[in-house]
């Protein structure tokens, strides 16, 4: 009869553990946290109320998200977290792109540098710990490998090692460096019962 009989209200709830995750990010040295969304401003403001974000950009198209990422680079390296097709260009433009893999689009996973296999944002902190630990181990391996190889070359140049001994020593250095690098497989986030799941 031309009169409204009812209406539907739809909303995106916050992902589980968002507030704690943001606090953890700040504790790990992340200085600035923004939300870039295609949603309307009033929806985004309602969903993020009380999170203590440093900025909220709403109603953004994919190209505007890319522009935001490039603009934020003046404040330092940028990590972008997203899960949709609209996030893929910004994920690719960021210094580190992280895709939410479980419900995320294939395009965002392809564009990202890292993919969280579980659809929980609180795994982001665990991922950062794993990445930092793996980087530290990689640097140790590089420094140790190059340092020992240089020492071996100096010893060989001074006549303390025969060519065969030098070759065997280099193989031993390579094996030692590889074994050290394998320690990265054992990195687990601190204080989490689900460390093995996060590492996966």
pLDDT above 70 (res 198) = no
Domain ranges across the chain? 18-121, 126-199
Q: CA-CA distance, 91 to 68, in Å (whole number)?
A: 11
**Mean pLDDT taken over the chain:** 86
pLDDT above 90 covers a percentage of the chain that reads 43
Would you tell me which CATH number, out of the four given (3.40.50.1000, 3.40.50.300, 2.40.50.100, 3.50.50.60), belongs to the domain 18-121?
3.40.50.1000
* Least confident stretch, 5-14, 69-78, 172-181: 5-14
User: What's the full length of the chain, in residues?
Assistant: 200
pLDDT in tens, 46-97: 888 888 899 999 999 999 999 999 999 888 999 999 888 889 999 999 999 9
Count the neighbouring beta carbons within 10 Å of the beta carbon of residue 152.
Answer: 19
CA-closest candidate to residue 98, choices 83, 86, 119, 120? 83
* Least confident stretch, 69-73, 176-180, 186-190: 186-190
Give the predicted TM-score (pTM) of the model: 0.70
Q: What is the pLDDT of residue 194?
A: 42
Identify which has the larger pLDDT, 122 or 97. Answer: 97
pLDDT above 60 (res 5) = yes
Sheet holding 96-100, edge to edge: 79-82, 96-100, 114-116
pLDDT above 60 (res 195) = no
Q: What is the pLDDT of residue 127?
A: 85
Indicate the pLDDT class of residue 10, thresholds 50, 70 and 90.
Answer: confident
Contact 87, 65 (CB under 8 A): yes
Structure tokens at 17: 């553990």
Identify which has the larger pLDDT, 195 or 177. Answer: 177
Contact 157, 151 (CB under 8 A): no
pLDDT in tens, 11-28: 767 777 788 888 888 888
pLDDT in tens, 25-39: 888 888 899 999 888
């Amino acid at each position: 009869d031309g009169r409204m009989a009812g209406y539907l209200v739809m909303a995106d709830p916050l992902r589980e553990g968002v507030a704690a995750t943001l606090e953890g990010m700040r504790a790990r040295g992340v200085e600035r946290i923004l939300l870039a969304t295609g949603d309307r401003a009033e929806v985004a403001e309602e969903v993020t109320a009380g999170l203590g974000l440093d900025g909220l950009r709403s109603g953004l198209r994919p190209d505007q998200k890319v522009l935001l990422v490039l603009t934020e680079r003046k404040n330092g390296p940028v990590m972008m977290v997203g899960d949709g097709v609209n996030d893929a260009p910004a994920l690719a433009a960021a210094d580190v792109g992280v895709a939410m893999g479980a419900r995320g689009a294939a395009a965002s996973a392809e564009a990202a540098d890292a993919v969280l296999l579980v659809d929980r944002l609180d795994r982001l902190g665990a991922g950062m710990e794993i990445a930092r630990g793996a980087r530290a181990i990689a640097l140790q391996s590089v420094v140790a490998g190059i340092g020992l190889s240089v020492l071996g070359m100096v010893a060989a140049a001074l006549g303390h090692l025969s060519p065969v001994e030098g070759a065997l020593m280099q193989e031993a250095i390579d094996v030692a460096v590889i074994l050290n690098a394998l320690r990265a497989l054992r990195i687990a986030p601190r204080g989490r019962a689900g460390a093995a799941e996060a590492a996966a």
